Amino acid sequence: MASSTAHVVRKKVEKMQPGEVFAYSNFNLDKSEELSLAKSLSRLTKEGAIVRLAKGKYYKPKNTLFGKLRPSESTLVDALTKRNNQRIGYLTGISVYNRLGLTSQISNTLVIATNKPLPPKLLEGYKVKYVRREFDIRDQDIPLLQILDAIRDIKSIPDSSPDETLKVLVSKIKELPEEDRNQIVKLALNYNAATRSLLGAMLQRYVPRMPINKLAESLNVLSSYEIGVSENILPNKSDWNIK
């Protein structure tokens, strides 16, 4: 049985395209053959025929003049943020803030927000860092969570001031459908008080008639938040105890 499984696995891998990420489920083997499958994949990894990305995730590399061709960043992120076809995380940090137009800096660190964090590691030329999120993650919410992360990190985004970052984020929020704007308020309730306060002030000032009562009610009236935005960009900031 083991030699038969090894043959099936090897033939399947040979037919795969370079850069293709795969998991145990790609082999359609019985549960009883899982141990043989794991041993076969371990053997192929030692041979260099495949590369292990994460637990149960592998890819087939392609040798080029510049070394092994790795999967695209998006493919790596997908491998790191899905388990058993369920979303367990999403990309955040500088890479996302660059795409949002908040910073010109790029990074070779993949910051993965997940409710199942792991120790940092090196993976195919990238540093992978995990940050904890204490809530379930849905695919449709990821763009909204990335905006909320940027609000939370507004003081530390490189090559940008809080005022500049806020302007871009306001434009992003204004572009959202009404359903998503309502959802971002609900999601913000999972974030720290400073993020909830700043989102509330932004919506009050720039997106009138948004239901922001829950954000206001979630805050301690005796707390204040050192964020660094100016009154020019957020004239109502004192109403939200923002400094």
Q: Give the pTM.
A: 0.85
Range of the domain at 208: 139-240
Query: Could you read off the pLDDT of 14-59 as tens digits, one per residue?
Result: 998 888 888 888 888 888 888 899 999 999 999 989 988 877 889 8
The terminus-to-terminus CA distance of the chain in angstroms comes to 68
Domain count, the chain: 3
Are residue 161 and residue 204 in the same domain, yes or no?
A: yes
Query: In sequence order, what are the residues at sequence separation of 6 or more whose Cβ sits closer than 8 angstroms to the Cβ of residue 92?
Result: 111, 112, 113, 131, 145, 146, 149
Phi/psi at 197 (5° precision): -65, -45
Q: Examine the pLDDT at 79 and tell me if it is beyond 50.
A: yes
171 shares its domain with 96:
no
Q: Residue 86 — very low, low, confident or very high, per pLDDT cuts 50/70/90? A: confident
Whether 155 and 181 map to the same domain: the answer is yes
Average pLDDT over all residues of the chain: 91
